A and B are shown apart, each in its own frame.
Chain A
Amino acid sequence: MPDFPDTRPVAVETHGIEKSFGDGAAKLLVLKQVSLTVCKGEILMLVGPSGCGKTTLLSIIGGTLRPDCGEVTAFGQPLHRMRSSELTRFRAGHIGFIFQQFNLIPTISCAENVAVPLLIAGVRSSVAIRKARETLGLVGLADRAKDRPGFLSGGQQQRVAIARALVHEPPMVICDEPTAALDASNGEIVMNLLAGVARSGDRAVMVVTHDNRIFSYADRIARMDDGRIIEVRDAAAGHGRHFLHELPH
């Protein structure tokens, strides 16, 4: 059964995913039969207590981790069957990453940081830098292109990271705690940018967060506990709050 209410096209779909870490007695089942759909053009937030498996699920959807069993289909491609080199190529072409700690390379300029995904895709350096500057303009940091990330505030750095996640126009952006290191107003700026990204570009944006200040930006909120999705709530601002219960298969 589809786990989403409307007719939006599907970006990523997972079915019966399991993932465990460790061996033998120390084996820890982290994801238990997780099924979830992420749609194009929406912001899906994944919330839940610490250690419940949010990051693990996000990693699997983003193609950085493989499930033990179950299926992940992203943009028509079966990630669970890909070899690791194919997954690498998939990530390069389809996923923009935003990390809690930004992970901008400190020894190169902001523009060069933003250009990295293009360089990975094999774009010529001069072309990549030009595109990177344009994208920095979209997040309001055109004038900081030449600075190193260390000279920018946390909020500005996360905006650079957003530019980096968007520069190669991936159909999906995944974010793990993008606002955790930011104050409220910077968090809002970042979320406004991400909301714009999702709506204008028809992109899927998946956000793992603890930060209840930003829940209002979600189109849907999936709540996890102990390795399961316990509910998916349609939370689109202004659409009223009707809850959609979803049970694991």
Chain B
Amino acid sequence: MFRLAIQMLFGDIAKYLMLVVGLFFATFLIVQQASVFCGLMRWTTSTLRNVPAPIWVVEEQVEQVNETNPLRDTDVGRVRSVSGVAWAMPLYSGIQRVRLDDGSFKTVQLIGIDAASLAGAPPRMLEGNLESLRLPNTVVIDELATARLSPVKGGRLKIGDQFEINDIEARVVGICDADRSFTGGPYVWTIYERALQYSPPQRKMLSAVIAGPVAGVEPLEAAREIQRVTGLRAYVTGKSGGDDENFAWSTIWWYVRNTGIPISFGTTVIVGFIVGVAIACQTFYAFVLDNLRYLGALKAMGMSTWRLSAMLMVQALTVGCIGFGLGLFATAGFARAALENKQPPFFMPAVVPAGAFAVIIIICFLAAMLGIWRIARYEPAMVFRA
């Protein structure tokens, strides 16, 4: 019976292709846009992955990692003295300008870490030596910076090359792998004191205190204690903590609430859904109308409405799966290009294709229901009146 359904479907090549193409576009729009959105949201939390630390302590009002509201220098000591805290180090994080030889400026995300412990250093060094950061006027840059800050177009900075941050010399002693920042600028690490020299002076310069718990204490526990004792905001990283305790989630939610990003991407996803519904429902309905004579004859010959409905469901779900598969395949092609380019942002957690599949199934279900509604109303006696 299902073979019959499939053959009827494939027999009408024009409508079959139309259905597949409609669902393909719906899938592509939904998965691609949702993934770019997720990628963009992931970019907002890049600093948390590039500057690893179990606990981030920031000013009370700070809700997201890209926003800095400086602390007092004494706050490092206050955090360090909280029970359950094993270590606490100062962190500078700010956007600074690099002047290239041709006179143009590039912005970079400057990170200043504690010289002794090097806490907050990039997790994956590709070249050079992290310890060399303790030498005068040295920086570690990410891969993006090697191209972006190169004095010649198409060239790459190497270890030993120099550039200037706010007119102060910086010598490259290491190259690391880092996630791209939300603002698009590359990451540059140096030690805390030198970061302050590179930056225009302000009354308070400490962006955050990064800390770790003593063995046996959960970061979340320690963070709550820091918050209680110091009155500062302490976030955890990684997977633990609720949306207002985990810095990554807090950051993402901040962008969701305070920017138009979700609306613009959400709109495209909804457009994808509408395109899918419109094309699938209208084409499938036309398909059912075209075949009404035959479906009606089947009904007259004693096929129950249930089985006819099952046939229509099988037909709709078949085109749904094929369209979804092709859409996902196309998205994979897009993803490869995006990931190779590191641009545009692309991140596809499993929930995106799973959700898109659910959406496509819902679309097909609606389309099939439309056909079922039509065939259920069809009186078997009508078959003599075609």
Asked if residues A65 and B381 are in contact (CB atoms below 8 Å), the reply is: yes
Asked if residues B304 and A112 are in contact (CB atoms below 8 Å), the reply is: no
Hey, which chain A residues are within 8 Å of B298, CB to CB?
116, 120
Segment with Cβ contacts to B, from A83-91, A197-205, A232-240: A83-91
Asked if residues B304 and A119 are in contact (CB atoms below 8 Å), the reply is: no
Task: Give Cα A99–Cα B299 distance, bound, in whole angstroms.
Answer: 14
Does B8 make an interface contact (CB < 8 A)? Answer: yes
As a 0/1 sequence over residues 53 to 66 of chain A, the CB contacts with chain B under 8 angstroms (1 = contact) are: 00110110010110
Determine the residue in chain A with the shortest Cβ distance to B7: A108
Closest approach, in angstroms, between the C-beta of A226 and any C-beta of chain B?
19
Hey, which chain B residues are within 8 Å of A65, CB to CB?
379-381
Asked if residues A103 and B386 are in contact (CB atoms below 8 Å), the reply is: yes
Does A9 make an interface contact (CB < 8 A)? Answer: no
Asked if residues A88 and B11 are in contact (CB atoms below 8 Å), the reply is: no
Does B348 make an interface contact (CB < 8 A)? Answer: no
Determine the residue in chain B with the shortest Cβ distance to A55: B384
Closest approach, in angstroms, between the C-beta of A129 and any C-beta of chain B?
11
Contact of A112 among B7, B301, B307, B381 (CB under 8 A): B7
Asked if residues A103 and B293 are in contact (CB atoms below 8 Å), the reply is: yes
Asked if residues B300 and A64 are in contact (CB atoms below 8 Å), the reply is: yes
Task: Give Cα A89–Cα B385 distance, bound, in whole angstroms.
Answer: 22
Does A176 make an interface contact (CB < 8 A)? Answer: yes
Asked if residues B384 and A107 are in contact (CB atoms below 8 Å), the reply is: no
Closest approach, in angstroms, between the C-beta of A43 and any C-beta of chain B?
18
Contact of B303 among A64, A92, A99, A176 (CB under 8 A): A92
Does more than half of chain B's interface fall in helix, strand or loop, or is it mixed?
helix
Asked if residues B11 and A91 are in contact (CB atoms below 8 Å), the reply is: no
Closest approach, in angstroms, between the C-beta of B83 and any C-beta of chain A?
74
Asked if residues B302 and A117 are in contact (CB atoms below 8 Å), the reply is: yes
Q: A95-B302, A105-B294 are in contact. Are A58 and B4 (CB under 8 A)?
A: no
Hey, which chain B residues are within 8 Å of A112, CB to CB?
4, 7
Contact of A108 among B11, B299, B300 (CB under 8 A): B11
Does B3 make an interface contact (CB < 8 A)? Answer: yes
Q: A64-B380, A108-B4, A108-B8 are in contact. Are A99 and B386 (CB under 8 A)?
A: yes
Hey, which chain B residues are within 8 Å of A78, CB to CB?
none
Task: Give Cα A99–Cα B384 distance, bound, in whole angstroms.
Answer: 7
Hey, which chain A residues are within 8 Å of B7, CB to CB?
107-108, 112
Task: Give Cα A95–Cα B380 distance, bound, in whole angstroms.
Answer: 13
Asked if residues B302 and A89 are in contact (CB atoms below 8 Å), the reply is: yes
Closest approach, in angstroms, between the C-beta of A107 and any C-beta of chain B?
2
22 inter-chain pairs at a CB distance below 8 angstroms, sorted by A residue, are: A55-B384, A55-B385, A58-B384, A64-B300, A65-B380, A88-B303, A88-B380, A90-B302, A91-B380, A95-B301, A101-B386, A103-B294, A103-B383, A105-B297, A106-B294, A107-B7, A108-B11, A119-B1, A120-B301, A120-B307, A125-B3, A176-B384
